[in-house]
A = this chain, B = another copy of it.
Amino acid sequence: VSGFSVANLPFGVAGGRVVTRFADRVLAVGDVVADPVFERPALNDFMAQGPDAWRDTRGALTQALAAPEKLAMTPAAEVELTRPFDVGDYVDFYSSLQHATNLGRLFRPDGEPLLPNWRRLPVGYHGRAGTIVVSGTPVVRPTGLIEVEGDVVRRPAQRLDIELEVGFVVGVGNEQGRPIAVDDVDRHVFGAVLVNDWSARDIQAFEYQPLGPFLGKSFATTISPWVVPLEALRPYLVPAVAQAPEPDDGLRARRDWALDLELEVELNGTTISRTNFRDLYWTFAQQLAHLTSNGASTRPGDLFASGTVSGPAPHQYGSLIELTWRGRDPITLADGSTRTFLEDGDTVVLRGWCGTGEDRVDFGEAAGTILPATG
């Protein structure tokens, strides 16, 4: 199986142990490297050991996997992966120029689509860490207070949407008062996951002024079970898009921090979006530098996500509100049915991969199925 060669070696958790994946099999890292951090149900303690330990572990796994027949591995299909790390703080950015422009056009049709701060700094906000779930966890349709023809009623969300995102996981935090410099992020970032930031647009629309999204987002956020190490992504770090105006010194990078990562969204088996992460306006390095620029500390397990990744063409949009232009243009699935927003029973799968051939680096899947509202 391509995508999970020794060029990848992602980390996950199964059965209370830290595991990695090689081809179509899963290996307990503790069977190769004896360290109590690998006998825990979360990657946090391993991530906190820092880049040298990350590289050493990768080296030991690579060496052991030169003779895979000597290792006791389990077929991936038989392994139930749990949430790979305990999430400290979760920050969601809004860093796709196309997405921010689309949403500006949809929500403020008479104004400039981008607000004055957007090109000056990576706009972001804190999301709910405690409701981040691993791929495969069902998502119950949320109920909330929604404005309907001038009245406010409590009902199940009818504009349930997805957001295709990429999230980065902090391994080594910074102390309060000591910001992370933009070109130092690889001393801190352990790896990356796919993120589906489920969004109830109708709940969000009524609640979000002036303090931002809250219950429209906080009911669930799905991440992929494998954390792909930044080390595995280095060959795919590429120059970022040009920024105008040029960002402030504190946000200007000398190294390449854009990531050439193919992304796709599947809804009930039909691919509804296909884009690439490399053109994101603000890189993850700029995001982490900004996040800490006021002196805020970070911890192992902090997650920060890109915001919806939308490319310039309509089939590259990363949310249904964009793909259907707020419901005006329904999309047709392979079975002939149409969608504006998600229906009960719908299954959404995000996928991502870097490169091609045997050594491509696969992110796996972030999948979720919508269950009907309760109560």
Partner-contacting stretch, out of A41-49, A214-222, A235-243, A342-350: A214-222
Q: Nearest 10 CB-CB pairs, A to B?
A: A212-B212, A142-B294, A126-B126, A125-B211, A215-B294, A211-B212, A219-B294, A140-B177, A218-B296, A219-B295
Q: Chain A contact residues: over half helix, strand or loop, or mixed? A: loop
Q: Which of chain B's residues have a CB closer than 8 A to the CB of A375?
A: 179
Contact B297 A215 (CB under 8 A): no
Instruction: With CB as the reference atom, state the residue of chain B lying closest to A177.
Output: B140
Question: How would residues 16 to 40 of chain A score, 1 for a CB under 8 Å from any chain B CB and 0 otherwise?
Answer: 0000000000000000000000000
Contact A293 B125 (CB under 8 A): no
Q: How far is the CB of A95 from chain B (nearest CB, A)?
A: 12
Contact A130 B212 (CB under 8 A): no
Partner-contacting stretch, out of A116-124, A184-192, A258-266: A116-124
Contact A214 B124 (CB under 8 A): yes
**The one of B116, B207, B298 that contacts A123, using a Cβ cutoff of 8 Å:** B207
Whether a CB of chain B sits under 8 angstroms from the CB of A290 is yes
Q: Given contacts A177-B140, A250-B154, are A290 and B130 in contact (CB under 8 A)?
A: no
Contact residues on A (Cβ < 8 Å of other chain), bracket: 35 or more
Q: Which of chain B's residues have a CB closer than 8 A to the CB of A145?
A: 120-121, 248
Q: Which of chain B's residues have a CB closer than 8 A to the CB of A94?
A: 211
Contact B209 A89 (CB under 8 A): no
Contact A200 B128 (CB under 8 A): no
Whether a CB of chain B sits under 8 angstroms from the CB of A335 is no
Whether a CB of chain B sits under 8 angstroms from the CB of A249 is yes
Interface residues of A in 115-153 (CB under 8 A from B): 115-117, 120-121, 123-131, 133, 140, 142-145, 147, 152
